[in-house]
Chains A and B, each alone.
Chain A
Amino acid sequence: MTVGSAVGGAGALLAQEGFRAPHIEYDALSPMLIVFGVACLGVLVDAFASRAVRRRVQPWLALAALAAAFVAVVVIAGTREVAAEGAVAVDGPTLFLQGTILLLAIVSLLLFAEPALDPGGSAFAAQASTTPGSAAERAAVGAGLVTTEVYPLALFSVGGMLLFPAANDLLTLFVALEVLSLPLYLQCGLARRRRLLSQEAAVKYFLLGSFSSAFLLYGLALVYGYAGSLRLSTVAQALGGAGDDTLVLVGLALLAVGLLFKVSAVPFHSWTPDVYQGAPTPVTAFMAACTKVAAFGALIRVFYVAFDGLRWEWRPMMWAIAILTMVVGAVVAVTQTDVKRMLAYSSVAHAGFLLTGVIATSRAGLSSTLFYLVAYGFTTVGAFAVVTLVRDADGEATHLSRWAGLGRTSPVVAGMFALFLLALAGIPLTSGFTGKFAVFAAAAAGGAVPLVIVGVVTSAIAAFFYVRVIVLMYFQDPAVDGPVVAAPSALTSTTLAVGLAVTVVLGVLPQPVLELADRAALFVR
């Protein structure tokens, strides 16, 4: 996949210089190659292995691939080079984000593989092709079928996510976006319960996602028309030239639409609540954490590397979007009655907080955004992992009123959820606070004091709805026919433990990760 796109990106080069084999830095690209390779292997396994075998093998194959890719990231840490004929930048931010994505994907895939929660043994549909409510579906459920394609699909989207923040030319960016999105659309529609809602979410995500991809594609065409190149560094050099600025400004705006859609910034956020609610919760966790990390990585690289020269043009636009995103995310979240929708709007608000770090356009802005992504990712996966546990007869009990009194019936689960919510609210001594402090400090140092004030005020609004859930869990009486908290297997427990540990450690002793983010915060151009 990578090789193919690299060849495509270097097409112009080939024409000028006669044939020359493209030079591929296999070591620098190894994390992506491992993930894509095992994803293809996973497809073969799914095609040829027996049902029982693939059900046993697929999760571990995927986890092993992710772990191996993470090891590869650690091994090549410190690399700073442009690889694959200029298509891929392997530098500090890339490796930091790839490491983050891989770890987040590992803990999310543990949720995918959880067998103990749903009576059917999986959170995914027995057979995705059957019509909901049909006899075929009942037959598939009765036969104990489980969709195992999710693992290769997840691996493909992880591969796209690894490439997305590393893309050093706009075409690679687009390819990575598609590679990460298409499998995600499919995964969203694979819920075992409330299948219609899930399929609706998938279609909605697919349609809106396609639109945003089209915007991105059109934007990059215009930028190409202006700069005569798709490489970020060449675009950056062309900005000083005498060309007509209109072309590049329109192109930049369209590119921004495509990228801001993926980070779910307002006004491109409307898919977020529906998709987060409809998708199977493990997929929501995976998508909320990993997609956000990858998309911010790509966004920040494009704006910092290619369009740094236009910062006085795009910063006002980003200001407006950041303010809108924070305000809408926080205010609308207050009115939500569904846990997953509430977390979706909270993720919108967090996109706004992250954008304040991007707007700083400084090294501190980059490193604080990197740190924030780590903090946010693990807390979010943890929060969604808790959502998978609280169940009643129809599957997960996501309506907030069903969570009343959880603090008394299941103190441990409620305590964990309270901690994740406090971290999302940015209460001191949690990772969320450190992250917010870092991005706000960077933004204030960059002169965006009003933005910081808006950020703090919306944090207060956001705190209101997080705290409301805690009030609900602790200070209200449980319903008579309240949901039961299912006992998870070691897989979900591991995810929860990792989420908790990261949330607390990054709140109390954040220095090592801050330092790592600081050292990583330098783009290769």
Chain B
Amino acid sequence: MTRFPWLSVLVLVPLVGAVAVWVLPARAARAAKSLALAVSLAVLALTVAAALRFDPGGARFQFTERHGWIPRFGIDYALGVDGIALVLIALTAALMPVVVLSSWYDAEESRHGVPRFFALLLITEAMVIGSFAATDVFLFYVLFEAMLVPMYFLIGSYGGARRSYAAVKFLLYNLLGGLLMLVAVIGLYVVSSRRLGAGTFAFGALADLNLSGATAKWLFLGFFIAFAIKAPLWPFHTWLPDAAAEAPIGTAALLSGVVDKVGTYGFLRFCLVLFPGAARDFAPWIIALAVVGVLYGALLAVGQADLKRFVAYSSVSHFGFITLGVFALTTQGGTGSTFYMVNHGFSTAALFFAVGFLVARRRSALIADYGGVANVAPWLAGTFLVAALSALSLPGLSTFVSEFLVLLGTFTRYPVPAVLATVGIILAALYALHVYQRTMHGPLRDTAAGGGHLDRRDLNRREAWVIGPVLAVMLALGVYPKPALDLITPAADRTLQEAGVGDREPTATWVSGASSPASGRGAGVTTGRGTSGGASR
């Protein structure tokens, strides 16, 4: 649209900022923190400026840039965003300043230096924004893999006691997924060079190939497993609780709030659009995995004794919901799961922050070490409660809107899984409130088996600035989700059109525009009872 390379700037600013922070001497810790915060705020400002120029009804991809990179393999440096990518970039940009702020003292005790920690955070931000903005599959793959490196060092250098184990597990799981995706990426290149004469990685050109048949199924699986590990979807989730438990709080929030969204975003952007036929064929199986994930994650969250692992397992449950919405293959499902990604990013970050405040006061992440915190730190307890309520999707908070949309979109095509997934909400109420009750109410538990005292101070100014904006955003989007949904809905609609599926009747008119039956590009849908779609606009 405009000539100004918005997206490149959004990637470059945090990258350049990271270099600037990195070269600061270790004793300039305060300068490094301030610089990192300033850079992340600048990225947020740039994102807002870009979002205001975005036209939801306009071209499929906007702010597009394209430069040849490795012409030998048809690889371009190509960027562009639709509504889905834009809201996820906005999520990243919005969470980054609070993540930086929440990590203010996380790196002090590490021998690896404070500036490096914040530089790594900024590098991760650049990689994540880049992968959301990439419209070249190869560029996406490279960034998808490259973001492992800063995350690996964040966990491995600055994490808890078992950080080395957690970092290696995180890396190997994700590397394995990435390598499967590499096979699929190579396959895509070979297929495209056969079909088009010259190999290409341009998203649009590949989507137009409308791949089908056995090859498409294998390629789909390559991408799917990579994203399922990243997301993480049950049963590929076991790295997340370890990584989240060992990572410093800000990093854990960044990991499950933002970085993992690249996986669910990949489902929607690549799995659905590049391999529509395979996506339709595998959808029932994936729905089954998602439902298991919803219930399994929630059940394990109920049973956790460790606060960080509790948040991680609740995330596994939520990722199940997101996957459910994506592979329901309905507009509400797609819109809902995209909005869910945004809300989950804020919600899980808020929970991690609240947990982090607790841990900072007691030096323990065990639920059993807490009790009656509300008596001495009411504000801390209050914010913890709101974060917990967002995890159980209380109406009035934004998570409710997205969870409702996902279930609605799923129900029209897969009623039984939708009903089963609803049980996950009940379990969410159980785990969220149970943890809240055990830690915040009852008699004040000051000393425990592990020794040490609870620091009784309530939220300080920095902590309030960390969690306040996140809760405010969730409240605002809960009451008035329209701005976000207006951005997401047309893009989700287009995505599902490209996937060649239409909505089933009856569709609830929850959001204007979401209810119009999407047209099918290829054959009608054969999942569920009868077919629908196929009607061209």
Contacts and interface: CB of A to CB of B under 8 A. Distances in A.
- Does chain A bind chain B? yes
Most buried by B among A422, A427, A428, A440: A428
Given A408-B111, A459-B179, A464 B172 contact: yes
Given A408-B111, A444-B187, A475-B156, A460 B176 contact: yes
B145 A475 contact: no
Given A467-B168, A471-B168, A445 B156 contact: no
A449 B189 CA distance: 13
B141 A444 contact: no
B157 A441 contact: no
A514 B72 contact: yes
Interface in B106-162: 111, 141-142, 145-146, 149, 153, 156-157
Given A428-B142, A456-B182, A475-B167, A445 B190 contact: yes
Interface in B22-74: 68-73
A453 B145 CA distance: 18
A89 B486 CA distance: 66
Contacts of A437: 73, 182, 186
Contacts of A376: none
Contacts of A118: none
Given A460-B176, A464-B172, A474-B157, A444 B186 contact: yes
A452 B163 CA distance: 33
A464 to B, nearest CB: 6
B193 interface: yes
Contacts of B172: 460, 463-464, 467
A510 interface: yes
A515 interface: yes
A412 interface: no
Contacts of B187: 444, 449
Interface in A455-474: 456-457, 459-460, 463-464, 467-468, 471, 474
B377 interface: no
B180 interface: yes
A467 B176 CA distance: 13
B175 interface: yes
Contacts of B70: 434, 510-511, 514
A518 B71 CA distance: 12
B72 A460 contact: no
Contact of B193 (A445, A453, A463): A445
A471 B186 contact: no
B258 interface: no
A445 B179 CA distance: 18
B156 A460 contact: no
A444 B182 CA distance: 12
A511 B72 contact: yes
B209 interface: no
Interface in B166-184: 167-168, 171-172, 175-176, 179-180, 182-183
B72 A429 contact: no
Nearest to A449: B187
A441 B190 contact: yes
A192 to B, nearest CB: 36
Contacts of B153: 474
Interface in A495-519: 510-511, 514-515, 518
A498 to B, nearest CB: 22
A452 B186 contact: yes
Contacts of A434: 70
A317 to B, nearest CB: 24
Main secondary structure on A side of the interface with B: helix
Contact of A441 (B145, B171, B189): B189
Contacts of B142: 428-429
Contacts of B189: 441, 444
Contacts of B141: 428
B164 interface: yes
Contacts of B68: 511
Contacts of B149: 422, 427
Nearest to B111: A408
Contacts of A441: 73, 186, 189-190, 199
A467 B152 CA distance: 11
Interface in A373-398: none
Contacts of B180: 456
Nearest to A446: B190
Nearest to B193: A445
Interface string A75-111: 0000000000000000000000000000000000000
B239 to A, nearest CB: 14
B164 A460 contact: no
Given A427-B145, A441-B73, A441-B190, A460 B168 contact: no
Contacts of A457: 179
A266 B103 CA distance: 50
Interface centre among A438, A441, A514 (most CB of B within 10 A): A441
A160 B157 CA distance: 48
A422 B176 CA distance: 15
A429 B143 CA distance: 9
A452 B189 CA distance: 13
B146 A429 contact: yes
Nearest to B176: A460
B156 A474 contact: yes
A449 B190 CA distance: 10
A20 to B, nearest CB: 45
A200 to B, nearest CB: 35
A518 B163 contact: no
A475 B157 contact: yes
B145 A456 contact: no
Question: Among A427, A463, A474, A475, which residue has the most Cβ atoms of chain B within 10 A?
Answer: A475
B69 to A, nearest CB: 8
B210 to A, nearest CB: 21
A474 B142 CA distance: 24
A394 B193 CA distance: 55
A475 B164 contact: yes
A463 B164 contact: no
B175 A463 contact: yes
B173 to A, nearest CB: 10
A428 B179 CA distance: 11
B117 to A, nearest CB: 14
Contacts of A514: 70, 72-73
Contacts of A428: 141-142, 145-146
Nearest to B149: A427
B335 to A, nearest CB: 32
Interface in B511-525: none
Given A441-B73, A514-B72, A452 B175 contact: no
A460 B163 CA distance: 21
Contacts of B167: 471, 475
Nearest to B189: A441
Given A441-B189, A467-B168, A475-B163, A460 B145 contact: no
A463 B141 CA distance: 17
A23 B102 CA distance: 78
A474 B180 CA distance: 28
B71 A511 contact: yes
A460 B179 contact: yes
B8 to A, nearest CB: 15
B148 to A, nearest CB: 8
Nearest to A443: B186
Given A510-B70, A511-B70, A514-B72, 18 more contacts: A428-B141, A428-B145, A440-B182, A441-B73, A441-B189, A445-B193, A456-B179, A456-B180, A456-B183, A457-B179, A459-B179, A460-B172, A464-B172, A471-B156, A471-B164, A474-B156, A475-B156, A475-B157
* 9 cross-chain pairs, A with B, having the tightest CB-CB distances, nearest first: A428-B142, A514-B72, A456-B179, A475-B164, A428-B145, A444-B190, A445-B190, A456-B183, A441-B186
7 contacts: A440-B183, A445-B193, A468-B168, A475-B163, A511-B69, A514-B72, A515-B72
Interface of A: 408, 422, 427-429, 434, 437-438, 440-441, 444-445, 449, 452-453, 456-457, 459-460, 463-464, 467-468, 471, 474-476, 510-511, 514-515, 518
